[in-house]
Amino acid sequence: IGFDMNFSLEITMKTDLSILPKVKNVYITMLPGNDYKEVANKARELVQFGFNPIPHFPARSIKSFSQLKDYVSTCKDFGVKQALVIGGSSEPIGDYHCSLQLLETGLFEDFKVGIAGHPEGSPDISDSELQKAMKEKKPYADYIVTQWLLNPEAIKNYISNQSLPVHVGITGPLKLSSLIKFANIVGAKNSINFIKNNATKTLDLLKPSDPNDLITKLKGLTNDFHIYTFGGLKETNKWLEKNNYA
């Protein structure tokens, strides 16, 4: 595509680090039930492998201020310089119910901080509440990472309304039928309609989507793309290499 782009990647605790592509920035998902100490250890491994790890800090999965402080300081000791501070999807297990509460502790002041963006809304929160939350979080944040989506118009509108840099969430090359399944989980309604309207035949649903379609349409608006691999790390690797991105 011939313009400078920065890709980041999202992994889980189970991801085998030896097959990661040559992208610098690697986010570590902390799923409900994951132990924050294990997430911090995964970050340490990534530092040792030469990556820039970005652990998730999901508010609703953190019990208390002392646990948050321990998580932050452990990560810092391991060489972590960046964090993604999010609400998370589960019910609160402790004192926090939203990411703003974590940001307000002041514990993230030495980090480069990302917050989550939802260009197509969220199944958990109303659009007006989302806008209010974004406004309150912006003073603490350096950039926004969006939920993944396929509809270029939705993301264009979103980027033009933000004052922070936007890293656009995309999926690795994945069958459209699988994408629809994942889109249903995250509530990406516009993207589901976009897939259905653009898949002319059932056959199209079995072909892998090519993220380049979206990347090309966003040229000039952002050069930062965050890849959700959904288990398709090998396919994502191939795609990055084929396009000389990695």
Q: Which of 46-55, 143-152, 188-197 has the highest mean pLDDT?
A: 46-55
Kindly state the percentage of the chain with pLDDT values over 70: 89
- Residue 126 pLDDT exceeds 50: yes
In the chain, the amino acid numbered 215 is I
pLDDT by residue (tens digit) across 22-42?
A: 899 999 999 888 999 999 999
Q: Say how far apart CA 60 and CA 146 lie, in whole Å.
A: 19
Mean pLDDT throughout 43-54?
A: 97
Q: Say how far apart CA 156 and CA 166 lie, in whole Å.
A: 10
Mean pLDDT throughout 55-63?
A: 96
Of 36-50, 71-85, 171-185, the one with minimum mean pLDDT is 171-185
What pLDDT is recorded for position 121?
A: 84
- Residue 151 pLDDT exceeds 70: yes
What pLDDT is recorded for position 186?
A: 60
Mean pLDDT throughout 72-80?
A: 98
**In sequence order, what are the residues at sequence separation of 6 or more whose Cβ sits closer than 8 angstroms to the Cβ of residue 73?**
none
- Residue 141 pLDDT exceeds 50: yes
Tell me which DSSP letter residue 199 carries. -
Closest CA to 20 of 7, 39, 31: 7
Q: Tell me the two tokens of residue 142.
A: 């350096």
Residues 246/22, Cβ–Cβ less than 8 Å: yes
Name the average pLDDT for the chain: 88
Of 1-5, 18-22, 177-181, 216-220, the one with minimum mean pLDDT is 1-5
**Distances 117 to 59, 77, 160, 244 between C-alpha atoms, Å:** 15, 28, 13, 28
Question: pLDDT higher for 2 or 89?
Answer: 89
What pLDDT is recorded for position 1?
A: 42
**Distances 60 to 35, 88, 112, 219 between C-alpha atoms, Å:** 13, 6, 21, 35
* pTM for the model: 0.89
What pLDDT is recorded for position 146?
A: 94
Q: With cut-offs at 50, 70 and 90, classify the pLDDT of residue 173.
A: confident
Q: Tell me the two tokens of residue 52.
A: 């820039």
- Residue 87 pLDDT exceeds 90: yes
Determine the 3-state secondary structure of 104 from DSSP.
Answer: coil
Residues 226/8, Cβ–Cβ less than 8 Å: yes
3-state helix, strand, coil in the chain (%, to 5): 40, 20, 40
- Residue 216 pLDDT exceeds 50: yes
